[in-house]
Amino acid sequence: LDFSSSPFSRGQPRVGVDRGPDVIRAAGLVHRLHEQGCAVKDYGNLTFEEVVVDEPVGAVKCVRAVGSANQRLSEAVQNVKRDGHTSVLLGGDHSLAIGSIHGHSAAVGDLSVVWVDAHADINTPLTSPTGNIHGQPMSYLLHELQSKIPVLPNFTWIKPCVSAKDLVYIGLRDVDPEEHYILKLLGVKVFSMSAVDQLGVARVMEETCDYLSARVKKPIHLSFDIDAIDPSITPATGTPVVGGLTYREGVYITEHLCQTGLLSAVDMVEVNPLRGQTEQEVQSTVHTAVDLLLGCFGRRREGNHSSDYILPEP
Ligand SMILES: *[C@@H]1O[C@H](CO)[C@@H](O)[C@H](O)[C@H]1NC(C)=O
Ligand SMILES: *[C@@H]1O[C@H](CO)[C@@H](O)[C@H](O)[C@H]1NC(C)=O
Ligand SMILES: *[C@@H]1O[C@H](CO)[C@@H](O)[C@H](O)[C@H]1NC(C)=O
Ligand SMILES: [Mn+2]
């Protein structure tokens, strides 16, 4: 697998989320992936051109910076996929899902998207209560919302590439009324925290994969916002919401998706070391992000040994 990181923060107003990739690297992600048998290439930071004048367009903030950064990211992800690798994006804020999913789809065609998040991130530019694009990425990507998206500078390259029936949300617990309307209108499959409580995570994952592969098995794009996990475990993030997934539920989601053999790209976003109150809060958040990524690439909690191991004899 190959990963690139996007120290990008303009999709939301809080400083620090651009430091996410480096703290995840510093926690030894590459080394630990190597240890579990993955060939990894770190593409380093993507650098984005400085957009000097970026006045809001309607209520939407930093439109040009977000648009052009995602265009670069889309090209980078396309290159990783065309080289035949699994793509891992370390963010950065969740606006990066626009380029990540767009690039993935441009290279491989139709996708299934599993979006694990406290939030639905499906506001259109016209429904967004904040104007922050990290709360809007899915709206740009869905075919069904195309007619609701105004023309925005540096967004004209984006072609909608995901169908509502190929999208599943897990972990939602902070959904705006307009977003709730959109989810119902499009009939999007949603496992809110209530559904996780009711069904248990194993049943949620079984139903997610049955639903997504009912017609044809497509490559899976996992877009994981660290705020899906409960803030008692992952507090170092910009928009924490109480009542989230446990560490174990999060890891189970990644293990289950790994076992499908269809995982083709992963985003790990919204880790913000400056939002932790203590070093311990930052470390807990970062180590959880690393463990989720290890789960995506074959780590088994039951343990592992080499096939030619021989017990020593006295
Ligand atoms: C399992 O252990 C073997 C031998 O140590 C190692 O090569 C392999 O990468 C491990 N697999 C995982 C998923 O950790
Ligand atoms: C990424 O950029 C940061 C500065 O934003 C720098 O400190 C870090 O060394 C870079 N990491 C890599 C792997 O290039
Ligand atoms: C963004 O759009 C402006 C025109 O609105 C254009 O001049 C500029 O080159 C674009 N930037 C990028 C990086 O595409
Ligand atoms: Mn999100």
For 72-117, the pLDDT digits (tens) are 999 999 999 999 999 999 999 999 999 999 999 999 999 999 999 9
Delimit the domains of the chain by residue range. 2-296
Q: What is the mean predicted confidence (pLDDT) over 164-189?
A: 98
Which of helix, strand or coil describes residue 138?
A: helix
Which of helix, strand or coil describes residue 203?
A: helix
Calculate how far, in angstroms, residue 304's C-alpha sits from the geometric centre of ligand 4.
33
Calculate how far, in angstroms, residue 168's C-alpha sits from the geometric centre of ligand 4.
14
**In this structure, how many other beta carbons lie within 10 angstroms of the beta carbon of residue 186?**
16
Kindly state if the Cβ of 298 falls inside 6 Å of ligand 1.
yes
Number of H helices, E strands in the chain: 10, 8
**In this structure, how many other beta carbons lie within 10 angstroms of the beta carbon of residue 241?**
18
Give nearest CA residue, ligand 2 atom 2: 45
Confidence (pTM): 0.95
Ligand 3 pocket, mutate which of 8, 154, 156, 157 (most atoms under 8 A from CB): 154
26 Cβ contact partners less than 8 Å away, ≥ 6 residues apart: 286
More confident site: 44 or 297: 297
Radius of gyration for the alpha carbons in the chain, expressed in angstroms and rounded: 19
Ligand 3 pocket, mutate which of 64, 75, 98, 156 (most atoms under 8 A from CB): 64
Residue 171's pLDDT is: 98
Beta carbons of 99 and 72 less than 8 angstroms apart: yes
Question: Relative to the CA of 300, which ligand 1 atom is closest?
Answer: 13
Q: What is the mean predicted confidence (pLDDT) over 6-23?
A: 88
Q: How confident is the model at residue 16 (pLDDT cuts 50, 70, 90)?
A: confident
Residue 2's pLDDT is: 62
Calculate how far, in angstroms, residue 134's C-alpha sits from the geometric centre of ligand 3.
20
Calculate how far, in angstroms, residue 215's C-alpha sits from the geometric centre of ligand 1.
34
CATH number of 2-296: 3.40.800.10
For 98-172, strand residue ranges (E) read 112-116, 167-172
The ligand minimizing its distance to the Cα of 38 is 1
Closest CA to 63 of 144, 7, 128, 15: 128
Give me the count of residues in the chain.
Answer: 314
- Whether 3 shows a pLDDT value over 80: the answer reads no
Is the torsion defined by CA of 79, 85, 90, 91 positive or negative? positive
Ligand 3 pocket, mutate which of 48, 53, 68 (most atoms under 8 A from CB): 68
Helix residue ranges, H only, 144-278: 177-186, 193-199, 201-212, 247-260
Calculate how far, in angstroms, residue 276's C-alpha sits from the geometric centre of ligand 2.
20
Kindly state if the Cβ of 280 falls inside 6 Å of ligand 1.
no
Q: How confident is the model at residue 8 (pLDDT cuts 50, 70, 90)?
A: confident
Question: Relative to the CA of 153, which ligand 3 atom is closest?
Answer: 5
The ligand minimizing its distance to the Cα of 74 is 3
Q: What's the start-to-end Cα distance of the chain, in Å?
A: 41
Residue 4's pLDDT is: 67
Q: How confident is the model at residue 14 (pLDDT cuts 50, 70, 90)?
A: confident
Q: Catalytic residue numbers?
A: 94, 117, 119, 121, 134, 225, 227, 270
Closest CA to 269 of 101, 94, 122, 121: 94
Ligand 2 lining (C-beta closer than 6 Å):
7, 22, 44-45
